[in-house]
Amino acid sequence: MKIRVLGAGAGGGFPQWNCNCHNCRRIRHGEMQGKKRTQSSIAVSSDGRRWALFNASPDIRSQLEAFQDSWPREGVRDTGIHAIVLIDSQIDHTTGLLMLRESTKPLDIYCSEMVRQDLTSGFPLFNMLQHYCGVNHHELPLDGSAFSIPGIDDLRFHSHSLKSKAPPYSPHRHDPHDGDNIGVVVEQVSTGRKLYYAPGLGEIEPHVAAAMQAADCLLVDGTFWQHDEMGRAGICEKLALDMGHLPQSGPGGMMETLGGLPAATRKILIHINNTNPILDEASSERQQLTAAGIEVAYDGLEITL
Ligand code: MLT
Ligand code: MN
Ligand code: ZN
């Protein structure tokens, strides 16, 4: 299995256009050891030619331009992006669908019923796309059962519901429903190798812990280091868990969770918010991660499982 990180940043990216926080200011002025990051998306393939895109970020145009395996190969219109899986209906995960409107076929989009509802009401991207390429919606199972994507035959996908948050515009923001957010296990049938992808993860429920234990590689929520990170940065009082993100530090945090997994499991944080000190490669927080065998995803990272 091949995995390509298209964007490792959270909503807003790094640096964020209007943010003057400690990280954004320093990266803009070349005063920080670290990398800029676009917004949250990965692509997965078994053959390196036909890719499932996970999320369509507002930065998709530059992400695909930088991703040679997605470029057209045959005919006057072509793409390596074969289907799209949406983890939730957040703006940073869906807005890029508008940039795919030139598709010569309806977009094959795999998402939950809750996400479909958001994208046909509060943020009606699906309705809008009907006037361009159109959408073929495929409803995802929420109980961990397998689905496949025709044409990407050596991969099996298992999706389950997560405790995280629907977007601020969604009627479900304060009224959670199964399928507002999902985690996905991608398994390569021929090798049995497994990726677990969950960029928005608020709670380690038993089915999440089991998926993590069974995976060879994790790409999981790395949004915030601290629960009150936004408040400490003087930005707003929103807490990490109010936004559906489990912070890395502290009891029951993501570091502790990942520490309980086998040493051979590749553990990678993704969807990193621009306030997070782990973006600074010289920070003590980043050194703690490195010492614990935890990596931080960056744009262009390629993983072969
Ligand atoms: C999130 O992951 O919490 C959201 O994407 C935040 C946002 O809308 O920017
Ligand atoms: Mn997000
Ligand atoms: Zn910032």
pLDDT tens-place string over residues 57-98: 999 999 999 999 999 999 999 999 999 999 999 999 999 999
Q: What are the tens digits of pLDDT across the range 244-277? A: 999 999 999 999 999 999 999 999 999 999 999 9
Are 140 and 159 a contacting pair, CB within 8 Å?
yes
Shortest-distance ligand to the CA of residue 20: 3
Give how many domains the chain has, as a whole number: 1
Proximal ligand: closest to the CA of 36:
3
In the three-class reduction of DSSP (H, G, I as helix; E, B as strand; rest coil), residue 2 is classed as strand
Count of other CB atoms within 10 angstroms of residue 298 = 18
Neighbours of ion ligand 2 (CB under 5 A): 10-11, 90, 92
Main-chain phi, psi angles of 267, to 5 degrees = -115, 115
- Determine the distance separating the centroid of ligand 2 and the alpha carbon of 242, expressed in angstroms: 13
- Whole-number Å distance, alpha carbon 276 to ligand 2 midpoint, is 14
Question: Measured from the CB, is residue 202 less than 6 Å from ligand 1?
Answer: no
CA of 171 to the centre of ligand 3 (A): 28
CATH number at residue 193: 3.60.15.10
pTM over 0.85: yes
* Per-residue tokens: 45: 């393939």
Indicate the helix (H) or strand (E) that contains 146: strand 143-147
pLDDT digits (tens, 9 = 90+) for 127-155: 999 999 999 999 999 999 999 999 999 99
Tell me which residue range forms the domain holding 282: 2-304
